[in-house]
Chain A
């Protein structure tokens, strides 16, 4: 069960995004991190040191826990990026692909 829910508000505009290949909806204006949490994901990456799962922590760009792959580019701060229609988001497992 998701940890966050959306308030019931009128006039919500949605965009379609993909998370790990699964199509889902996000609210227009959501950050990628907010969209991941709203979709019910509990973690967005694993630590490259211990492999422990990690999730967005500060939501304001200072903790770097929310790093994910966005449209093929790894290590993006998902709390600082606004969702776009058709955006491809992937969770990052260990060291990001191509950055070993």
Chain B
């Protein structure tokens, strides 16, 4: 089996920083990336983007170039366009590249798989014309595609404002921005404001976006509830309750967003311990301040270990890179501590805004755990919330039992889109506030693999 000293999984800010730092400390390092180019989702296409489009995305995005350049100048090698279908506690990795499955392993692994948008089932979310706001932004970053006939942006979270602001500058018609965060969020966020002001540039940026959008005449609706996407075969409109009245806005495109959560399939597959984070409303891996998970030799950094954003992810990646240098014998503890000190300080400062953001953009509980019965929760197998509740009340007391009974989570996405929702529906129905019943058990292959690909598995010769 091909063996490396260090394998970093994921080419976003934390993965790039971790690989660069470790390689610069003399470690032989391979970075495996699902994408064709380094940058992750946040700095997607940063190396190839036309100047005009880059300026539309703003200076934060363009910082990604520096990270990619530093990575390219390091001795780390890069394996793009590669899917991972397994990672076990022996640090053996199953990969799929150009249709060829193979196994590789490493003395140490850093998982930097980042975040995904929190999937939130609402009536009509499977209609063509409904996409996530992150999807809209990816189309803008990597293909220069923007809505042609206007767009409705709806949900909870800062990405909605950022994307609206970028669209505004690209001349896109924004029909409306619908904010579904509960009105009480503002009050719950206030106590965290003094701390957040230590990282006030984030807050000022948000206020500036909002002001410019309002000045441009974009309509904002806050406190939106009972949100539905409606249409026959295609999206035709959104309907929602606002200030006690039912409203309808015709649109061919809805971009929804409900915050981001760690992409935890890989860390769960590897058997790392996870806990439920009640502030971020997601499963997150247990990790120490160096990123070490509960499994020996596997570290998890960046948004994949809990949402902290791109800047914190970059520092966390560097910190984990120094820790890898210690674990692999290139530094002693003191050298590691000295090397990591600056990044630890910067990361701490940057994370000060998080408690405020988490409270301000906390999604409403009923949206996540109490979708109407007819709402499709599992998009792949088309299992609705009513069927899930029926299973729970028939005695299936956790997400896995619901899965066995209903096939919820057994389609091609392997539960990525329904896991978070099913966990919360189960918890609500059973009054389980601590989420002790757990989420889906994640087993390999965690990406669809054909029998032909598995049969042609290249295990590689054992090293002599």
Give residues in A with beta carbon < 8 Å to B.
Answer: 1-7, 9-11, 27, 29-31, 34, 37-38, 42-43, 47, 49-50, 52-65, 67, 73, 75, 79-80, 82
Other-chain contact of A31, B83, B131, B143, B147 (Cβ < 8 Å): B143
Whether the pair A61, B34 counts as a contact (CB closer than 8 A) is yes
**With A59-B131, A75-B448 as given contacts, are A1 and B149 in contact (CB-CB < 8 Å)?**
yes
The 3 closest A-B pairs by CB, nearest first: A55-B128, A59-B135, A5-B148
Contacting residues, chain A, for B146 (C-beta < 8 A): 4-7
Q: Which residue of A lies closest to B115 (CB)?
A: A60
Contacting residues, chain A, for B138 (C-beta < 8 A): 59-60, 79
A61 to B253, CA, bound (A): 20
Whether the pair B381, A1 counts as a contact (CB closer than 8 A) is no
A29 to B128, CA, bound (A): 24
A65 to B413, CA, bound (A): 8
Q: Which residue of A lies closest to B35 (CB)?
A: A80
Contacting residues, chain B, for A43 (C-beta < 8 A): 128, 233-234
Contacting residues, chain A, for B45 (C-beta < 8 A): 29
Whether the pair A3, B252 counts as a contact (CB closer than 8 A) is yes
Please tell me if B351 contacts chain A, counting CB pairs below 8 Å.
Answer: no
Q: Which residue of A lies closest to B382 (CB)?
A: A49
Contacting residues, chain A, for B134 (C-beta < 8 A): 58-60
Give residues in B with beta carbon < 8 Å to A.
Answer: 34-36, 41, 45, 48, 50, 52-53, 56, 83, 99, 116-117, 119, 126, 128-132, 134-135, 138-139, 142-149, 170, 233-234, 252-253, 263, 379-382, 411-413, 416-417, 448
Contacting residues, chain A, for B129 (C-beta < 8 A): 3, 42, 55
Whether the pair B412, A7 counts as a contact (CB closer than 8 A) is no
**With A4-B146, A5-B145 as given contacts, are A37 and B416 in contact (CB-CB < 8 Å)?**
no
Whether the pair A62, B128 counts as a contact (CB closer than 8 A) is no
Q: 6 A-B contacts, Cβ less than 8 Å apart?
A: A3-B148, A3-B253, A47-B382, A50-B382, A57-B131, A61-B34
Instruction: Known pairs A3-B253, A9-B52, A58-B135; list 13 more (Cβ under 8 Å).
Output: A4-B145, A5-B148, A6-B146, A27-B144, A31-B143, A34-B143, A34-B145, A42-B129, A43-B233, A55-B129, A62-B416, A63-B417, A75-B412
A30 to B147, CA, bound (A): 16
Whether the pair B147, A4 counts as a contact (CB closer than 8 A) is yes
Other-chain contact of B143, A38, A60, A67 (Cβ < 8 Å): A38
Whether the pair B412, A52 counts as a contact (CB closer than 8 A) is no
Contacting residues, chain B, for A29 (C-beta < 8 A): 45, 48, 142-143
Q: Which residue of B lies closest to A42 (CB)?
A: B128
A75 to B233, CA, bound (A): 22
